[in-house]
């Protein structure tokens, strides 16, 4: 079959596994430009992302430090005011007078009617309000003082409203305690009215509460033995008394204070006295709102750079909040659902919304709080009590007497929104640049390879037999030189092909079977030597791999049927590739190209035939489930053909090319198509080849190449 009759399958097989020059050039340009663009984009993204992340972290850290300074300053100011309020003549005088009046109260206990009236205040007024707010039940006399002086003090000055911002009313009993209480109230209630404290509590050294500005049920109680003995206030008073120094100041953690109907309170305690000794203690009840105002920035989160989700809060070692939540302040209707979604119990969320505050109610968790409680300072992406993951800056709060931590947090999505926006912008820009580079690379590659494509098309046409093909040869560059050389080659091939076609016509007339016409003529003339030498012949010698093992699985004539099917497949490939079949073996196949019909491209046809044989075997394997393969040797050169058995008319080949092709097929155990160096030189660029070592034939070492 001549080039002009090449089928589409042959052309596809010829190009299979190759990339065109344009494709390679395009890949090269794209790889260089896209990799450069990607590297620049990646470096820009990493550096930009880290810079933006560092900026966000620094901003949140600055917010934490700002709030730390403000809350520390607030508590420090309260401690100084407590020390000043306790170490002046008014406080010392009030303490001495209250203590003296307290001792006299033991001489005037309440009557039965007065005691019943006091009990009625608890059962009818205080306890119902307390039980309604806390949900707990208390006995009628649970908070009634044990001592008679305590009950008398409550009867005289405990008020139903518990208001500390107005002076106490004179009960009119004329007792020393009443006069001392009213005198002390003139001084201590001024602290409430002018400074803003919620309450002022004064005790004697035995722990008896001898005065409260609010007139609550803690008045008259003994903080060493009474119902409030386990309170933080009681412990703070015991600490300052045990210190026995007028300069001592104790700040207590926030606690739920029963006399304040269970609302959270905080105390700063200082002893009352002078260098001669102390006479009692004073405790200033710090408004929780002061702490909330500092931690919330008076509700101006966005103006202070906290965005829509940022906030700072305080927490104790018990992992409960010590300040209010921004979300509760801004979105009280959705607060419960939000915190429940992040692990808070429904009961706790309901108590928070009912109380209108998160202090001592809302639990907090996560890396930030855990590390801060452990004494570490830093930043982390941490789970919080709300809104899932947050960027948090945390630190322990350095305030004497308080085991608190401070956390500045912001939702991770909002905190890193600039990083996300930057990444999105950079990605879009990089993709746009890559698209532009791809278009430019495509245009450049097309411009560069257009002459090559024209030459490739012309070469394919020539290989298909159109030797009249010409390509434009305008210009003075290398492509023009190549075009002129190609046109000269095509003209020469035209002449040569005309000669070959003429010779083939003559041969076709003489050939009757598989042998050359000259041999046929000699045979007819009765000559004994029926052999001819042929130059420039490609020899293909193939050996089946695995057929013996496969044949053992067959029965009867199935082996012959299998061999026939394989041979038919080889014959079809030979016809398609223009290769002459010489003889068929049980486990092999011998063929040549350029023997009976001279070919200018016999090496290419021989290699295509070898590759096609392996493809035919692969199709047989797919259909039958066999695992056969071929070892094929291909060489080109001189051979001798002839009839080796006159009686049986056996036609065969021998010679150097035959021996080398036969040697190649037995050069190793690995299946494949193996070429000599002479074949490689003729087909290089048409097939992908790999170095397969070398063989030695007749003392000569020949390089082997394998088609991959």
Residue 30: burial class (beta carbons within 10 Å; 0-12, 13-18, 19+): middle
Of 380, 648, 349, the residue nearest 523 (C-alpha): 648
Residues 6+ apart with CB under 8 A from 167: 182, 185, 186, 189
* Residue-wise pLDDT tens digits, 241-279: 998 888 899 999 999 999 988 899 999 999 998 888 899
**Is residue 159 a contact partner of residue 170, using CB atoms and an 8 Å limit?**
no
Q: pLDDT band for position 161 (50/70/90)?
A: low
* Residue-wise pLDDT tens digits, 478-488: 777 787 887 88
Mean pLDDT, residues 397-422 taken together: 84
Backbone angles phi, psi at 491, to 5 degrees: -65, -40
Query: What is the chain's mean pLDDT, rounded?
Result: 84
Q: Number of H helices and number of E strands within the chain?
A: 22, 18
Residue 47: what pLDDT?
59
Q: Does the pLDDT at position 358 exceed 90?
A: yes
Measured between its terminal Cα atoms, the distance across the chain in Å is 26
**Is residue 547 a contact partner of residue 623, using CB atoms and an 8 Å limit?**
no
Mean pLDDT, residues 212-218 taken together: 91
- Alpha carbon of 6 to those of 292, 344, 576, 589, 624: distances in Å? 90, 79, 7, 23, 29
Would you state the structure tokens that stand for residue 89, as one six-digit string?
A: 């003549």
Q: How far apart are CA 570 and CA 564, in angstroms?
A: 10
Q: Does the pLDDT at position 43 exceed 90?
A: no
* Residue-wise pLDDT tens digits, 245-254: 888 999 999 9
- Most confident region among 31-40, 43-52, 346-355, 551-560 by mean pLDDT: 346-355
176-190, 253-267, 350-364, 427-441: segment of lowest average pLDDT: 427-441
H/E element holding 391?
strand 389-396
- For the chain, percent of residues with pLDDT exceeding 90: 38
Would you state the structure tokens that stand for residue 690, as one six-digit string?
A: 């790999």
Residues 6+ apart with CB under 8 A from 515: 523, 596, 641, 643, 651
Residue 208: what pLDDT?
95
73-87, 351-365, 544-558: segment of lowest average pLDDT: 544-558
- For the chain, percent of residues with pLDDT exceeding 70: 86
* Residue-wise pLDDT tens digits, 448-473: 677 777 777 888 888 777 878 888 87
- Please name each of the domains of the chain with its CATH number: 87-286 (3.30.450.20), 291-414 (3.30.450), 467-510 (no CATH), 513-707 (3.30.70.1230)
Q: How far apart are CA 37 and CA 42, in angstroms?
A: 8
140-149, 547-556, 565-574, 694-703: segment of lowest average pLDDT: 694-703
Q: How far apart are CA 477 and CA 680, in angstroms?
A: 29
Would you state the structure tokens that stand for residue 626, as one six-digit string?
A: 């066999």
Q: pLDDT band for position 503 (50/70/90)?
A: low
Would you state the structure tokens that stand for residue 387, as one six-digit string?
A: 């809104």
């Amino acid at each position: 079959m001549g080039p002009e009759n090449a089928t589409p399958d042959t052309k596809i097989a010829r190009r299979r596994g190759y990339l065109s020059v344009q494709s390679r050039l395009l890949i090269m340009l794209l790889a260089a430009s896209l990799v450069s663009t990607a590297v620049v984009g990646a470096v820009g993204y990493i550096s930009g992302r880290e810079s933006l992340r560092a900026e966000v972290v620094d901003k949140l850290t600055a917010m934490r430090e700002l709030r730390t300074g403000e809350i520390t300053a607030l508590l420090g100011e309260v401690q100084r005011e407590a020390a000043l309020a306790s170490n002046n003549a008014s406080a010392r005088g009030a303490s001495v007078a209250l203590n003296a009046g307290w001792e006299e109260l033991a001489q005037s206990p309440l009557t039965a009617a007065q005691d019943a009236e006091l009990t009625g205040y608890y059962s009818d007024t205080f306890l119902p309000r307390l039980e309604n707010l806390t949900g707990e039940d208390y006995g009628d006399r649970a908070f009634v003082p044990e001592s008679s002086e305590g009950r008398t003090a409550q009867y005289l000055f405990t008020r139903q409203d518990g208001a500390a911002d107005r002076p106490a009313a004179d009960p009119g009993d004329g007792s020393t305690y009443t006069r001392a209480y009213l005198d002390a109230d003139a001084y201590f209630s001024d602290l409430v009215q002018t400074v803003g404290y919620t309450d002022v509590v004064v005790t004697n050294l035995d722990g008896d509460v001898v005065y409260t500005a609010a007139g609550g049920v803690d008045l008259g109680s003994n903080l060493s033995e009474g119902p409030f003995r386990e309170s933080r206030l009681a412990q703070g008073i015991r600490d300052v008394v045990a210190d026995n120094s007028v300069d001592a100041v104790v700040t207590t953690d926030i606690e739920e204070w029963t006399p304040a109907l269970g609302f959270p309170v905080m105390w700063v305690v200082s002893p009352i006295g002078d260098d001669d000794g102390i006479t009692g203690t004073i405790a200033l009840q710090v408004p929780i709102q002061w702490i909330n105002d500092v931690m919330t920035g008076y509700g101006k989160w966005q103006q202070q750079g906290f965005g829509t989700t940022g906030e700072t809060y305080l927490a104790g070692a018990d992992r409960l909040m010590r300040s209010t939540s921004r979300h509760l302040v801004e979105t009280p209707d959705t607060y419960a659902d939000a915190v429940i979604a992040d692990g808070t119990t429904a009961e706790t969320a309901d108590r928070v919304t009912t109380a209108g505050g998160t202090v001592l109610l809302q639990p907090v968790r996560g890396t930030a709080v855990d590390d801060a409680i452990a004494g570490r300072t830093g930043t982390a992406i941490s789970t919080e009590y709300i809104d899932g993951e947050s960027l948090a800056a945390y630190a322990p709060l350095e305030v004497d007497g308080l085991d608190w931590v401070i956390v500045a947090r912001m939702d991770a999505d909002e905190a890193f929104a600039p990083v996300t926006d930057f990444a999105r912008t950079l990605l879009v820009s990089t993709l746009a640049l890559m698209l532009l580079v791809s278009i430019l690379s495509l245009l450049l590659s097309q411009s560069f390879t257009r002459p090559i494509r024209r030459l490739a098309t012309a070469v394919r046409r020539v290989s298909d037999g159109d030797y009249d093909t010409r390509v434009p040869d305008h210009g003075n560059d290398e492509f023009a030189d190549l075009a002129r050389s190609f046109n000269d080659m095509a003209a020469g091939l035209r002449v040569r092909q005309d000669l070959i076609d003429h010779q083939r016509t003559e041969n076709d007339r003489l050939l009757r079977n598989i042998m050359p016409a000259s041999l046929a003529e000699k045979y007819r003339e009765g000559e004994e030597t029926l052999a001819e030498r042929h130059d420039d012949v490609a020899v293909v010698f193939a050996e089946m791999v695995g057929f013996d093992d496969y044949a053992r699985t067959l029965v009867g004539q199935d082996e012959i049927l299998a061999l026939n099917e394989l041979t038919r497949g080889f014959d079809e490939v030979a016809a398609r590739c223009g290769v002459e079949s010489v003889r068929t073996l049980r486990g092999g196949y011998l063929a040549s190209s350029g023997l009976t019909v001279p070919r200018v491209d016999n090496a290419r046809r021989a290699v295509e035939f070898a590759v096609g044989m392996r493809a035919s075997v692969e199709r047989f394997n797919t259909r039958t489930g066999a695992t056969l393969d071929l070892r094929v040797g291909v060489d080109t050169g001189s051979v001798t053909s002839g009839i080796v058995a006159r009686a049986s008319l056996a036609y065969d080949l021998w010679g150097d090319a035959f021996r080398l092709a036969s040697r190649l097929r037995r050069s190793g155990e690995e299946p494949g198509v193996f070429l000599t160096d002479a074949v490689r030189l003729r087909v290089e660029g048409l097939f992908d080849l790999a170095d397969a070592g070398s063989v030695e034939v007749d003392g000569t070492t020949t390089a082997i190449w394998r088609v991959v």
